[in-house]
Structure 1
Amino acid sequence: MDSSYEEDPPTGPVWVNNSAVFIDLTLEDQAYELRAHLKQLGAEISEEMSPKGIEDDLHKIIGVCDVSFTKDPKELNDTDIESALNAIVSMLILIPLERAENLILAFSEKLAKAPGYRIGNIALKVLWLLFQSLDPRSTMRYHVYYHLIQIAKNVEQIRSIFKGVDDLRKQFSACEITTEQMQKLLRLLHEVLLLCGESELAAKVMVELLGTYTKENASHAREDAQRCILTALADPGTFLLDPLLSLKPVHFLKGELIHDLLTIFVSEKLADYVEFYRNHKEFITNQGLNHEQNMTKMRLLTFMQLAENAGEVTFDTITSELQIEEKEVEAFIIDVLKTKLVRARMDQAARKVYIGSSMHRTFGHPQWQQLRDVLFAWKTAVQHPLECMATIAEAQLTCH
């Protein structure tokens, strides 16, 4: 047996509903009980303790722990499965980290292979518990989190693990992980978020990924930059595309068709996209983009541009610029209003659409200047009645 624990080996917690309940069992006793439990389930493991020490015992236990969730579901309930796996967690966190790293990796890989939705959710809970139990400074948190994302993909529970880019930064703020590791994690997150229908979060993750490249290595981010652009173009809910142009890896694509296409979606009109498609149909198809979806999005973006600086837009302008028939205008305006990109009302008798407000397709210096002017005018308008009220109040005090 390993004698490194001296006379009083540590006892470990049993986790129940994410709460630690400490019991008076040594690591060796816990290992013995786990061996017996797994052997009873049919695992090929001896009940005899390893002469090499507790780490070797735990290595063997982890090697066959999947027997607890590969048995006939009728023979084990969820509580039995979770308790056995949490017992392994309770042992892992008590072993010095430098000696537990390979064990943590092996356990994470084992749980990442948990089959089905039911077992996958149990594995997700158990591995999340391990992640939370690790020292925030430990780089092992990265490896556990990576496997957590893989499990979350299988059970479509990515939002239970990933709360957003800011939260992700906080999770790893105390530990030193390499830029390459973070890029690998962000790529996986982007893939999983898309599969789970979280396109808005996926876009933010991709922007974060591209932001990890510097001017010196941005030219190596070609594939990530292309993926970022294609994801944003294909997402029916993404309309503000201007920020992508400022990303260094995207800048390195300037002069290529993918960059030309992005520029059209950022600032040009439907007619420009139609011309691009006419000349590069094969390119659009090869990139996995849908032409009809592109047309729909470009119509919305073109209308936004028409509405930005106009109090009203005529039906004739809409049919001409958006290449639709007049009978389709009403349905189109309804679709626009659903996006909340534009506030407007339609006057069919006057054959006009009156614009209340519109989002900007691009937000650069002119838009900031416009916002400044609006806020300054608002401040001036508010200041006058305040001064009047102050004058009245002063006059009343003088009279009394």
Structure 2
Amino acid sequence: MLVVPVFIELSLEDQAQELRAYFKSLGAEISEEKSPKGIEDDLHKIIGVCDACFKEVPEAEIESILNGIVSMLVLIPVERAENLILAFCEKLTKAPGYKLGIVSLRVGWLMFQSLDEHSPMRYHVYYHLVQVAKQVDQVQAVFKDVDHLKQQFAACPPSNEQMQKLLRLLHEVLLGCKQSELASKVMVELLGTYTAENASQAREDAQRCILAALADPNTFLLDPLLALKPVRFLEGELIHDLLSVFVAEKLPSYLHFYQHHKEFVHSLGLNHEQNMKKMRLLTFMQLAEGNSEMSFDTIQQELLLEESEVEAFIIDVLKTKLVRARMDQAARKVYVSSTMHRTFGRAQWQQLRDLLHSWKTNLQITQEGMKSVAAAQMDLLAQQ
């Protein structure tokens, strides 16, 4: 029976010797003797064989051993522990299977939390944590949102290049986990890290952002992408033209684009039928902005639907909650009460301003009315 090392008031050197003996008992190729080169060399050798415990060892025991290594790493000055921490993180990312992956995630998180908040190594540990989270589909355990991510590194912000690398990884992981809304926010944050001077370097990221937004069946507000510097750098290219169609054009414009650039659309990995479905929804939203009442015939004509498909389409639109409306099947009409705008420009800001001004005026009228009522009641009480 193997004896798990328990580090109670042991020096780092003695802890290292306990770990050496433990891993040797598991069959790892390591000596039980301390290294004459010091504790860093001891840890280097221990980390090199620490994956020996991934085989036929209870999970609780594995976690205890790996946490023991973490407790030693965080006590070594960071400038001497950098390579050791990186090597240990690499081992954690290679833990086989879901259960060991979860153990590695907990151990990695312990190390991230144990490092001083001013340590630049926290970034590297976190990057590896995201990789482990990807393998076990647990990204929500390490990533909440972009603001929370920035708070994690407030004391020691990563370089711009490091943050870009991390955001690319998070975008990939979030897409894989079907968290498209968060993935979009991460990508927008990534593109925001580029300036006018280096926007040309963001070409690949900008294309990836556009494709993710177009392919996501739940992303309909695409207008903000056009304002991003790296996306503006793509003006004049087909990918930018396609985005512009989805931002402001109707279904016939998409069909015209597709007829002339079929191979390009398919080369992007986009599904034409999904594009059609999305463009129909966007076209309906645009029609609803200027029409509080629409006939089934108009919808059928504008959206290129069969007569039998109109009612089912309207029901699908209402499920998205992009448009608030009522369908009158007997009259074959749709009555629109409100809709989300596809674009939010000067006209929409003016409309919002007018709405708020009207709301303010109504509040003032109500307030004056309440004052009059209160004054009348006071007069009545005085007379009594």
Indicate the TM-score class for this superposition, using the shorter chain for normalisation.
over 0.9
Q: Check whether the contact 2:7–2:15 (CA below 8 A) recurs between aligned residues.
A: no
- Matched residue, 1:30: 15
The correspondence for 1:184, drawn from 149, 159, 165, is: 165
Q: Residue type matched to 1:84 in 2?
A: I
- Matched residue, 1:5: none
Write out per-residue CA displacement over residues 278-299 of structure 1, whole angstroms, 9 at most, x where no aligned residue.
1000000001100000000000
1:299 aligns with 2:280: yes
Paired with 1:167 and 1:22, the residues of 2 have a C-alpha distance of 34
Paired with 1:165 and 1:132, the residues of 2 have a C-alpha distance of 18
CA-CA distance at 1:314 after TM superposition: 1.1
Runs of 4+ in 1 over 4 A off after TM superposition: none
> SS where residue 147 of structure 2 aligns?
helix
CA-CA distance at 1:368 after TM superposition: 1.3
- Matched residue, 1:162: 143
Aligned-pair identity (%) = 72
Q: Check whether the contact 2:222–2:246 (CA below 8 A) recurs between aligned residues.
A: yes
The correspondence for 1:47, drawn from 18, 32, 37, is: 32
- Matched residue, 1:3: none
1:240 aligns with 2:240: no
1:348 aligns with 2:329: yes
Paired with 2:289 and 2:157, the residues of 1 have a C-alpha distance of 46
- Matched residue, 1:255: 236
Paired with 1:324 and 1:176, the residues of 2 have a C-alpha distance of 53
- Matched residue, 2:106: 125
Paired with 1:386 and 1:247, the residues of 2 have a C-alpha distance of 44
- Matched residue, 1:67: 52
Q: Residue type matched to 2:9 in 1?
A: D
Q: Residue type matched to 1:296 in 2?
A: K
The correspondence for 1:77, drawn from 55, 58, 61, is: 58
CA-CA distance at 1:151 after TM superposition: 0.6
> SS where residue 369 of structure 1 aligns?
helix
CA-CA distance at 1:66 after TM superposition: 0.3
Paired with 1:136 and 1:219, the residues of 2 have a C-alpha distance of 34
- Matched residue, 1:146: 127
- Matched residue, 1:384: 365
Paired with 2:157 and 2:109, the residues of 1 have a C-alpha distance of 20
Write out per-residue CA displacement over residues 216-269 of structure 1, whole angstroms, 9 at most, x where no aligned residue.
010111111111101100000100000000000000110110000000000000
TM-score using structure 1 length: 0.92
CA-CA distance at 1:179 after TM superposition: 1.1
CA-CA distance at 1:365 after TM superposition: 1.7
Aligned residues: 377
Paired with 1:181 and 1:386, the residues of 2 have a C-alpha distance of 55
> SS where residue 327 of structure 2 aligns?
strand
Matching of residues 2-21 of structure 1 within 5 Å: none
Gaps of 5+ in 1: 1-13, 15-20
> SS where residue 66 of structure 1 aligns?
helix
Matching of residues 96-111 of structure 1 within 5 Å: 96-111=77-92
Q: Residue type matched to 1:121 in 2?
A: I
Paired with 1:391 and 1:176, the residues of 2 have a C-alpha distance of 58
Matching of residues 320-399 of structure 1 within 5 Å: 320-399=301-380
1:286 aligns with 2:288: no
1:269 aligns with 2:250: yes
Paired with 1:180 and 1:260, the residues of 2 have a C-alpha distance of 29
Gaps of 5+ in 2: none
CA-CA distance at 1:22 after TM superposition: 8.3
Q: Residue type matched to 1:184 in 2?
A: K
TM-score using structure 2 length: 0.96
> SS where residue 114 of structure 1 aligns?
coil
1:216 aligns with 2:201: no
RMSD value, Cα? 1.4
Write out per-residue CA displacement over residues 361-380 of structure 1, whole angstroms, 9 at most, x where no aligned residue.
01122111111111211222
Paired with 2:307 and 2:98, the residues of 1 have a C-alpha distance of 50
Q: Residue type matched to 2:265 in 1?
A: I
CA-CA distance at 1:205 after TM superposition: 0.8
CA-CA distance at 1:135 after TM superposition: 1.3
> SS where residue 182 of structure 1 aligns?
helix
Paired with 1:253 and 1:28, the residues of 2 have a C-alpha distance of 58
Paired with 2:46 and 2:302, the residues of 1 have a C-alpha distance of 68
CA-CA distance at 1:23 after TM superposition: 3.1
CA-CA distance at 1:171 after TM superposition: 1.4
Paired with 1:375 and 1:342, the residues of 2 have a C-alpha distance of 21
Paired with 1:380 and 1:157, the residues of 2 have a C-alpha distance of 50
Paired with 1:102 and 1:389, the residues of 2 have a C-alpha distance of 72
